[in-house]
Amino acid sequence: MSNLMTRWTGRIAAFAALLFALQPSARADWELNMPRGVTGISGEVYDLHMLIFGVCVLIAVVVFGLMIISIFKHRKSLGAEPARFSHSTKVEIVWTVIPIIILVAMAIPAADTLVRMEDTRNSDISVKVTGYQWKWHYEYIDEGISFFSNLDAESNRARQVDSGIDPFTVDNYLLNVDKPLVVPVGAKVRLLLTSNDVIHSWWVPAFGGKKDAIPGFVNEFWFQADEPGTYRGQCAELCGRDHGFMPVVVEVLPTTEFDRWLADNRPADAAPETRMAAAEPAPSSSGLVSEAAAATPEPPAWSMERAMDRGENLYASACAACHQPGGQGLAAAGFPALDGSPVATGPVDQHIDIAVNGVPGTAMAGFGPQLSDEELAAIVTYQRNAWGNDTGDLVTPEDIAAAR
């Protein structure tokens, strides 16, 4: 028996040595555990996680230990004679009661943290977060600032099938956006989460959790980041084709810098009330393209050249995920081609209607609430004149406004 034991101990030791030998080569990327995060709640969550994990490990050592002893000692090949016992009320009561005690001991701190997590009162700043397929929209409730936050262009290029771009060369691949949510350090930030289409879930691990964004509901989530920095996460609820490509990035700024950011991004023209009203129907400074940062002084006249130019950029960020960069669509997924399609080469009114209002019951969202008149005019013009389409139609922002 001891012979067998030594043989097995030898094997286990060899395996452990192998594991250990691999350690030095391990890069920082072999991340094993939950991050502690940068909020009070995320720290509590981390502690709870480690506590319950520790409890599990302890139980595992006892149970697996007994099992392993039994496997090595109580084997027929060692001449073991089976005992005949088949129950013991005493033992059974013990191993029912002990787990109950452990569970109660776990439940108390868990409930305690949960109560604090759910307390969204007394927030310093509120941001309405709306999930879209596949981007986030942020609206600073009292500031009149609102914008979309998309996957950044570099990740977006690299993530196309067979893009030929090595993801390791892209900074923060899939975890970067064109326009992050910006909040001040130390402030209690309350998020009001909802969705425009399907269910999404807003998750930044460093803030200790996630919350679903559900159409027709407004959910609340709060965090209070203790350290300035950039914190990254992703949509956590399957939301369709590009679910893996709608990151969440939050930039936590020192208070003074945040105030400057607010001042820079506040629409300059309006008083608070009218700002709100203006922001409501069309959160125009969409952030879809970087230069779309609100007040461009004295825009040049609407022209084919200008529309096609803007349209190409906007198409890449708003349409290409489904209809594909070349307008060929994706038949296998049910996304129709635009190149040569009856819609993009047919009556212009119908085309505008679909772009503004969407097609109910399909993945085609209405882009009316997401884009400004000018942006939509650019996109529709582009679609009607790009690739093999050459209708020559120039759609104007006024056409879009009339169709709304």
Comparison of 200 and 275: residue with beta carbon closer to other proteins: 200
Q: How many residues bind other proteins (CB under 8 A)?
A: 106
- Check binding of 245 to other proteins (CB under 8 A): yes
Which residues in 167-186 contact other proteins (CB under 8 A)?
A: 167-168, 170, 172-175
As a whole number of angstroms, the distance between CA 245 and CA 171 comes to: 15
Applying CB under 8 A, among 18, 19, 301, 331 the residue interacting with other proteins is 331
- Please report, for residues 45, 318, 365, 385, 391, the alpha-carbon distance to residue 312 in angstroms, rounded to integers and kept in the order given: 45, 10, 19, 10, 16
Give whichever of 151 and 307 is closer to other proteins, judged by the CB atom: 151
Among 21, 100, 271, 295, binds other proteins (CB under 8 A): 100
Give the orientation angle of helix 89-117 with respect to helix 40-73, to 10 degrees.
160
- If one asks whether residue 276 binds other proteins (CB under 8 A), the answer comes out as no
Applying the rule CB under 8 A, the residues between 53 and 82 that interact with other proteins are 53, 56, 59-60, 63-64, 66-67, 70-71, 74-77, 80-82
Dist CA 101 CA 107 (whole Å):
10
The backbone torsions φ and ψ at residue 325, rounded to the nearest 5 degrees and listed phi first, read -55, -35
Q: How far is the CB of 367 from other proteins (least distance, A)?
A: 16
- Vertex 285, ends 138 and 355: CA angle to 5°? 95
One residue of 214, 294, 316, 337 binding other proteins per CB under 8 A: 214
Beta partners for residue 136, in sequence order: 131, 149
Q: How far is the CB of 12 from other proteins (least distance, A)?
A: 14
Residue 334 backbone zone (phi > 0: left; psi -120 to 50: alpha; other: beta): left
Question: Interface with other proteins by CB under 8 A: which range of 177-185, 237-245, 279-287, 341-349?
Answer: 237-245
Residue 134, burial from CB neighbour count under 10 angstroms (0-12, 13-18, 19+): buried
Does position 165 interact with other proteins (CB under 8 A)? The reply is yes
SS3 39: strand
Query: Of residues 4, 13, 238, 402, which one binds other proteins by CB under 8 A?
Result: 238
Among 83, 271, 295, 301, binds other proteins (CB under 8 A): 83
Supply the minimum distance, in Å, between the C-beta of residue 358 and other proteins: 11
Residue from the set 139, 143, 152, 197 that interacts with other proteins by CB under 8 A: 197
- Beta carbons within 10 angstroms of residue 403's beta carbon: 19
Q: Which stretch binds other proteins (CB under 8 A): 102-110, 283-291, 305-313, 370-378?
A: 102-110
Contact range with other proteins by CB under 8 A, out of 194-202, 281-289, 297-305, 379-387: 194-202
Does 301 interact with other proteins (rule: CB under 8 A)? no
- Considering only 18, 21, 161, 295, the residue that binds other proteins (CB under 8 A) is 161
Alpha carbons 224 and 203: distance in angstroms, whole number: 14
- 128 near other proteins (CB under 8 A): no
334 binds other proteins (CB under 8 A): yes
Burial 22-39 (b: 16+ CB within 10 A, else e): eeeeeeeeeeeeeebbbb
* Binding map of other proteins across residues 33-52, x = CB under 8 A, - = no contact: xxx-----x--xx--xx--x
115 counts as binding other proteins under rule CB under 8 A: yes
Q: CB 99 → other proteins: shortest distance, Å?
A: 5
| Structure tokens given for 99 | 């787990």
Residue 253 phi, psi (nearest 5): -110, 150
Q: Contact at 8 Å (CB) between 148 and 137?
A: yes
Window 217 to 236, contacts with other proteins (CB under 8 A): 217, 219-220, 233-236
- The greatest distance separating any two alpha carbons of the chain, rounded to the nearest whole angstrom, comes to 96
The residue written with tokens 């027929």 in the block is: 76
Minimal distance in Å, beta carbon 224 to other proteins?
15
Q: Among residue numbers 348 through 387, which ones bind other proteins (CB under 8 A)? A: 361-363
Q: Is 15 in the site for other proteins (CB under 8 A)?
A: no
Residue type at 336 in one-letter notation:
P
Burial of 230 (0-12, 13-18, 19+ CB in 10 A): middle
The SS3 assignment for 106 reads: helix
Rounded to a whole number of angstroms, the minimum distance from the CB of residue 291 to other proteins is: 27
* Residue 337 interacts with other proteins (CB under 8 A): yes or no: no
